[in-house]
Amino acid sequence: MTSSPAIRKVFQGVASRQQMFRMFDRHSQRPSRWETDATPLYAGEWFEIAEPEHDYMFDVLPPLWIRGSMFGMREFLTGSVTSVFFALRIDEQTRYFHGYCDLSDKASVEAMRVAIVERESRPLRAMTREERLEHIWSITSDDYRGYAGERWPAVARGKRTVLLYGGKEGSFLKLLEDLTDDEVAAKLPVQLRHLPSPIAA
């Protein structure tokens, strides 16, 4: 069994119901959607939701399992990856989260719980560059994001792209991972542009 991908936060703030459902399949446009194993794309992703969304998902189907304040969805997204919902006490407040766990790794659920608590217990709000890029991907409409295709160099094909506006030069596609700090700031909502990095926090 291969090790699980890194556990990562993919949205800053509390997702609305509409945002939650949209982020359940953030990679729907990926090339060869039905031909490749999508486990590495989804396993380890997590984001915060509100209590009504948590309770709604609990009532959708009988859970696959319930462990204290966590439950797993009966329907799997891909392979052994399914949605796990958490109600976690952080700084004297109960907060709610959704994460994709690969249940072939028996430690994945607990590892995600620990990672969420650790990430959300920071004394200052902060975002890593990776979290900024994931947030941009999560909030960008499908019409303005995609994957590098045949017109791109071979090394870039299949990587995520976003549409940028170049003023007089018009709009153009750029690899998400290659965005400059200024381009990242321009893509983020105003309230997130000046959050410190974890190193500075």
User: Final residue of a domain: which of 120, 149, 166?
Assistant: 120
* Domain range for 52: 8-120
Cα–Cα distance, 64 to 139 (Å, whole number): 30
Which contiguous run of DSSP H or E holds residue 135? Answer: helix 129-139
Judge if 114 and 165 occupy the same domain. no
**Phi, psi for residue 131 in degrees, rounded to 5:** -65, -35
pLDDT at 18: 95
Of the candidates 105, 61, 102, the one whose C-alpha atom is nearest the C-alpha of residue 82 is 102
DSSP 65-133: EEETTEEEEEEEEETTEEEEEEEEEETTEEEEEEEEEETTSTTHHHHHHHHHHHHHT-SS----HHHHH
User: Final residue of a domain: which of 99, 120, 141?
Assistant: 120
Judge if 164 and 78 occupy the same domain. no
Judge if 140 and 95 occupy the same domain. no
Q: Is residue 67 in a domain?
A: yes
Give the mean pLDDT of 144-165: 91
136 pLDDT above the threshold of 50: yes
Range from 6-15, 33-42, 71-80, 126-135 carrying the lowest mean pLDDT: 33-42
Residue with the larger pLDDT of the pair 98 and 79: 98
User: Final residue of a domain: which of 62, 91, 120?
Assistant: 120
What pTM, to 2 d.p., does this model score? 0.87
Judge if 156 and 85 occupy the same domain. no
Q: Which residue is listed with tokens 């709604």?
A: 56
Judge if 100 and 72 occupy the same domain. yes
pLDDT at 126: 80
1 pLDDT above the threshold of 50: no
Q: Is residue 198 in a domain?
A: no
Residue with the larger pLDDT of the pair 178 and 41: 178
Judge if 56 and 16 occupy the same domain. yes
Contact 97, 86 (CB under 8 A): yes
Name residues whose C-beta falls within 8 Å of residue 171's C-beta, 6 or more positions apart in sequence: 163, 164, 165
Give the mean pLDDT of 172-189: 92
Judge if 54 and 86 occupy the same domain. yes
125 pLDDT above the threshold of 80: no
Judge if 97 and 181 occupy the same domain. no
Judge if 15 and 114 occupy the same domain. yes
Cα–Cα distance, 140 to 169 (Å, whole number): 21
2 pLDDT above the threshold of 50: no
